[in-house]
Each structure stands twice: as structure tokens, then as C-alpha cells.
Amino acid sequence: MRRPPILLVLVAVVMLALGETAGALLSPLRPAVERYARARVAANAAAHGLTGSAEYDDEVRNRAVFTAEAGISFFHTHAEGLAPVILLAGTIVASVVAGRRARGILFGLLTVGALFPLGYVVYALAALEAGREAGVALAERYVLTPLGASAIMALLGLVVILGRAARTSQPAR
């Protein structure tokens, strides 16, 4: 099997490394993450709609901290899961797609798509900085959707090319 360009491999391996490191934040470093999240919510009281009522504010704070921790957890699982998929898809593109231009486009889309899990880091940070709903919406609109769409388009493109090759019963390369 041919290997994809080194930039694609590098991005996938960096995502794996970041995903593994984020796993450590979820367990031994969890108290530090929670302290940081609570401090950021307090520093952005207006964005979170804190009212000064202890009971209500505690509920808002807990939900924001939960969202930030969920963001890190999603980042961990998506980075560990998507990077091998991108490497596998890149290997299939390198091995079976004949056209240089088509290969270049698919490699580009896959490389950008490999960054998709970073959207969950933005999700976690934006939920703390801009308030829970606004932060999540921002991450989904400007980061998760474009990066996810890139990966999806690359995979659909690969499906179309493989489908054509299968119909003509000959290798695409």
C-alpha cells in the first residue's frame, strides 16, 4: 500500500498525540481542569448570566463546567478515533486514486478534516468564555461544521471514485 503525503500523516499523528494528552486531563488532571473552568466562569460572569443567587449560579456554573469537560472528553475520543480513519482513507487514496489532481484534492480535504476534533477544544473553551449556549453554537458553526464537512466530502469523493472503479471492474489506478 502507498502512503499519503507526510503532511497528512503528521497532522494525524499530532491529533493522536493531542488526543492521548487530553486523556490525561480527564483523569489525573481533572481537579485542575475543574478549577480552571470555575475560574473562567467567574471571570465571564455576564456571559454566563450569573445573578448573584448562590443556588442559581451554582447550577449555571456546574452546567458550564460539565460542558467544558464534555468538550475535552469528545476531543479525546474523536482525536483517537478519527486520526486512524484519516490515515486509512489517505492510504486508500494514495493507493487507488489515479488522477493527480483528484488525489491532491482528496488529500487536502482529509488533512483539513483531520483537524475536526480540535473543534471540541474550541467547544470547551468557548463554553467557558462566551457562555454555554453561545460558546457551543460558535464552535459548531465556525469550527466543527466546516472541518467535519471537509472530512465528509473527502470520504464521499473517495466513495464515488471507488464506485466508478468497481463499476468498470478495474483498479482506479
Partner 1 sequence: MIEPTWRLPPIPVLLVGVVLIACAELGGGAMAQFKLELARWARGTMLARPEVHGLVGVRDVDEQILDEALVKLDGGLRLFHLHAEGMGTIIIVTAMVATSLVGRSALRRTIVALIMVGGAGYPLGYLLWSGLIPFHGIARSKRLAEWLVWIPFGSAAIVAMWLLAGALAAQWLGGRRSGDAA
Question: Which residue is listed with cell 488533512?
Answer: 111
Between 17 and 43, whose beta carbon lies closer to partner 1? 17
Is there a contact between 48 and 132 (Cβ–Cβ < 8 Å)?
yes
Nearer to partner 1, 13 or 98 (CB): 13
Q: Would you say how long the chain is, in residues? A: 173
Question: Contact with partner 1 (CB under 8 A): which of 65, 94, 112, 161?
Answer: 94
Q: What's the longest Cα–Cα distance across the chain?
A: 70
Name residues contacting partner 1, limited to 58-87 (CB under 8 A).
80-81, 83-84, 87
Distance of alpha carbon 21 from alpha carbon 144, whole angstroms: 20
Sign of the torsion angle spanned by Cα atoms 101, 103, 105, 111: negative
Indicate the residue among 48 and 76 with the shorter CB distance to partner 1: 76
User: How many binding residues for partner 1 (CB under 8 A)?
Assistant: 24
What number of other Cβ atoms are within 10 A of residue 78's Cβ?
A: 20
* Nearer to partner 1 (CB atom), residue 17 or residue 42: 17
CB 110 within 8 A of CB 157: no
Which backbone phi and psi does 172 adopt, to 5 degrees? Answer: -70, -25
List binders of partner 1 among 3-62 (CB under 8 A).
3, 6-7, 9-10, 13-14, 16-17, 20-21, 23-24, 27-28
Contacting residue, 61, 73, 91, 125, with partner 1 by CB under 8 A: 91
Judged by CB under 8 A, does residue 156 bind partner 1?
Answer: no
Question: Minimum Å distance from CB 165 to partner 1?
Answer: 20
Alpha-carbon distance of 139 to 119, in angstroms, equals 6
- Enumerate binding residues for partner 1 (CB under 8 A): 1-3, 6-7, 9-10, 13-14, 16-17, 20-21, 23-24, 27-28, 80-81, 83-84, 87, 91, 94
